[in-house]
Each structure stands twice: as structure tokens, then as C-alpha cells.
Amino acid sequence: MREYVVVRPDRAAMERILDRGCSGPEGVVLRLAWLAGLTRDEIAQLRWEQVSFLDSRLELPDRMIPLSAELRSHLWRCHEQYAEACPFVAASSRGGRPLRPESISRLARMALDRGGQTGVRLMDLRHDWIIRQLETQDWPTVARLSGVEVPALQARFAAFVAEKKPAGRAEAPRVDEFKLWKVLQAERDTPAGLALWLTWQMGLQAVEIISLTWDQVDFGENVLRLPDREAPLTNAVHRLLLDTRRRQAGCDPHVMLTAHSRRPLDLPRLSRITRAALIRGGMEHVSLRDLRRDETREDEDVRILDLAAQRGAVSRGEVMALLGLSKTAVYGRLRRLTDLGRLIRVGGKYYLPGTVVPPEEQPAAIVTYLEQAGFAYRQDICGLLHIEPRQCTLLLKRMVAAGALAQDGQKYYLPPPEARKAE
């Protein structure tokens, strides 16, 4: 097997090359490779809209790379001069046309030769950047920054850095559920979005997601029939799968297909598209596996449900005090439990299933009761629906305003059939 050869540039020579007026297109190319670790194709495809000067980072489709002060300053100067003429960062100084990959290689080769780095390739500049990152950061962090998996990094670069602890089981990052909820909404009509929903709400593994076929989706029984278990569908996943099946009518029997060619997704492609979706949502430190293995979330879910069982219902404020989380994080947690059918929301309170009449069934329950009893007081309706007086008052007001109920003092009754309106 051919040995993987890395030719490291001389650091002082590179600094001299960049300092001595290397400010045209070749300066951009060399800096992006040596100071940010971009490949030739990434340099050719990089647009100004991907350069976040505010956050001081490059926002690539599969990862985000922090900008050093020197690189940020140079790119800012180039942006002021060239951005209006061409949307691409690597553009020719004449005519403002984007540089082709072969032109990028030629410019780099000429600049490196002039600086005495005749044996160094453009790719070596990226490799040198990776090695420098490994000198100060762990394997998983450099894998995230470079887009290279940890095993490949170790195979290529372990000899260039001091011995590091194996990239073992790093503590899974806490999932920001509010950010995740926004990602799920933004990606709901994409294969990446469906995969994220299946992982987050259904607990499916990646291999289960790519192998899932439509004959395993039982819409009638509302379950996924997996080889080793049955997984009940949440309302959100049920709707997403229905929409996906309509879009894929007549295609391959697999549920997860590529967006354009309609071919089954493989594991690498699934990993890339979900990773890109999470990065776009500002969750660059989270992976698909992290969404599934959040044991802390499961423990906190149990605590919420136990509190609801003890008190009959819980509010957002009570859950905030219980878990010590922010209002938005708690809202996302309660929203997910509601969508899973593990809680029922009535107004600002959350109840366990079976302990309260769901909101969509409340008007019909009141009508049925009044057809038999003739009239009722508010406390009667509260007892019927198992909800609090304030919630009951709001519901009764809406039904009276809609003409579905009539009120005489503190009594509520059904209006004559000819005057009754559907709420």
C-alpha cells in the first residue's frame, strides 16, 4: 500500500510569501488553504455570503471554520474591493470571473515556487493546517473542523503530532431543543428533515432509517414495524410520512430517497445531509447520533410526567423550576411531549392522557352532557372535562359567542336546534 506523503511548508517561508504583496487572487487561495484548511474545490465554490464577518467564520455546507484575525482582515479588504463584481471569493483580478479549479492550482504553484516552496502542493497547505489544529485540539474537534472522519485523520496524521488519547466516548453535547425545533420546521420537506424527525421523536438508528421501506409503515395502526420492535408514530412524523409518500408515488419502495435522483440514501449521504441541516441551524456541535442518545432528556421527561401525575397538571413555569431550564427550552420539551401524545395541553396547563378531555373533544362532550342534563353550571363542566375553572370559563365564553351554547346567569344550556350554530 502506498504511503500517505505529506510535505509540510516552511512556516517562515509561508509568512514571507503572504507578507510580500501576495494580495491578489493567489493571496486569497493560499490563505484559504493554509489558514482555513479548504480544499481546491471548496476554494473555487466559496461565495461571499458564506463568509460571516460578524461571527468570524466560514460557513461551508458541511462545517463551520473559525477565521483567524489575519485571514478575516485580508478577506474583509478583498470583500470591499471585489464583492460587488463577483459573488465568488476566489475571482480573477481582471473581469471579476470566478477562478476555475485548474487556475487555482496554477496560481498556488506559481506563488509557492516564487517563495522557494517548490515541493509543496496546494493540498499540502490544507494538510499543514490540519496538523497545526491537531497540535492544540482533540481528534473529534479537528474532524468537525476539517470534514475528515477521525479514523482517516489518525491514519494520515498521527505520526505528525504528539500522542493523543484515542477519540473515545466524548460526552454527548446537550441538545438545544429550541434550536432543534427551528431546524425541524425549516427542513420538514427535505430528506434530512425526515431523518431528523425519525431520530429525535422515534429513536431510530441511522441504519434503520436508510433501510426503512413503505411496507413497514402502517398508517392504519399508526406504527412503524421494525425488525425487532414496533414504534408508535407521533402526529408530526405521521404527517411527514404521508406527505413524503405522496411526493414519492411510483418511486423506489424505500422511504428515504435522494431529493433529485430518487434513489435510496446510503449512510454517508444520510450523515452529510443531516450534518449540513444541523449546521445551517447553528447546531454544528450536534450529530444525528447525539439526538438519539440524549439520556438526560429521557430522565427529564420522566420527571415532568411524574410531576404531572402528582399535581394533576403542570405549567411551563413549574417545569422551569423543576429542571432549571429556560422558558424556550421548556416550551420545546413540553411541545415534543405533547406531540408524542405523552401530555395533553389545555390552555397553559399540561395533563397526562386519560386525566383530561382533549381540547378537540371538549365541545362535543359538553353538548352530549347538556342533551342529557338539560343545563349545567361552570363547576359541572369543570368536573366533566377535568380542567381548571379559568380554562373552563374561556371555553364556555367561546361557545356562547359562537352560538353553540346559551347562558342564563350562571346556567349554561343548549339553544333551540334551529338557532344552534356549529362552533
Q: What is the CATH number of the domain that holds 90?
A: 1.10.443.10
Q: Is residue 166 part of a domain?
A: no
Please provide residue 332's backbone torsions phi and psi, each rounded to the nearest 5 degrees.
-60, -40
127 and 152 part of one domain: yes
For residue 322, what is the domain's CATH number?
1.10.10.10
152 and 25 part of one domain: yes
Q: What was the pLDDT predicted at 298? A: 67
303 has pLDDT over 80: yes
* Sign of CA pseudo-dihedral 51, 53, 58, 60: negative
Q: What was the pLDDT predicted at 36? A: 95
17 and 135 part of one domain: yes
For residue 379, what is the domain's CATH number?
1.10.10
Q: Which of 273, 292, 311 is the last residue of a domain?
A: 292
216 and 268 part of one domain: yes
Mean of pLDDT values over 100-108: 93
174 has pLDDT over 90: no
Q: Is residue 317 part of a domain?
A: yes
275 has pLDDT over 50: yes
272 falls in which pLDDT band (50, 70, 90)? Answer: confident
Are 131 and 124 a contacting pair, CB within 8 Å?
Answer: no
For residue 291 the three cell numbers come to: 439526538
Question: Poorest-confidence range of 41-45, 149-153, 176-180, 292-296?
Answer: 292-296
47 and 188 part of one domain: no
Question: Poorest-confidence range of 212-226, 234-248, 293-307, 373-387?
Answer: 293-307
Q: Is residue 311 part of a domain?
A: yes
Q: Is residue 217 part of a domain?
A: yes
287 and 302 part of one domain: no
Q: Residue 126 carries which side chain, given as an amino acid letter?
A: R
15 and 156 part of one domain: yes
287 and 299 part of one domain: no
Q: How many domains does the chain have?
A: 4
102 has pLDDT over 90: yes
309 and 242 part of one domain: no
Q: Is residue 407 part of a domain?
A: yes
Say how far apart CA 139 and CA 286 lie, in whole Å: 16
Q: Is residue 335 part of a domain?
A: yes
Q: Which of 105, 132, 160 is the last residue of a domain?
A: 160
Are 322 and 307 a contacting pair, CB within 8 Å?
Answer: yes
Q: What was the pLDDT predicted at 166? A: 46
Are 33 and 41 a contacting pair, CB within 8 Å?
Answer: no
293 falls in which pLDDT band (50, 70, 90)? Answer: low
153 and 250 part of one domain: no
Q: Is residue 420 part of a domain?
A: no
Q: Which of 115, 132, 160 is the last residue of a domain?
A: 160
Question: Poorest-confidence range of 2-6, 24-28, 65-69, 263-267?
Answer: 2-6
Are 58 and 50 a contacting pair, CB within 8 Å?
Answer: yes
Q: Is residue 69 part of a domain?
A: yes
CA distances (Å), origin 396, targets 239, 354, 401: 31, 22, 9
407 has pLDDT over 80: yes
Say how far apart CA 319 and CA 309 lie, in whole Å: 13
2 has pLDDT over 70: no
Query: What pLDDT digit, counting tens, does each position of 237-262 carry?
Result: 899 999 999 988 888 899 999 877 88
Between 415 and 178, the more confident residue is: 415
Domain limits for position 183: 177-292
Helix axes 316-323, 295-311, angle to 10 degrees: 130
1 has pLDDT over 50: no
387 and 399 part of one domain: yes
The alpha helices in 83-175, defined as continuous H runs, are 101-114, 122-134, 139-146, 150-157
Give, in degrees to the nearest 5, the angle at Cα 129 between 127 and 131: 70
Q: What was the pLDDT predicted at 3? A: 52
146 and 103 part of one domain: yes
169 falls in which pLDDT band (50, 70, 90)? Answer: very low
Q: What was the pLDDT predicted at 296? A: 55
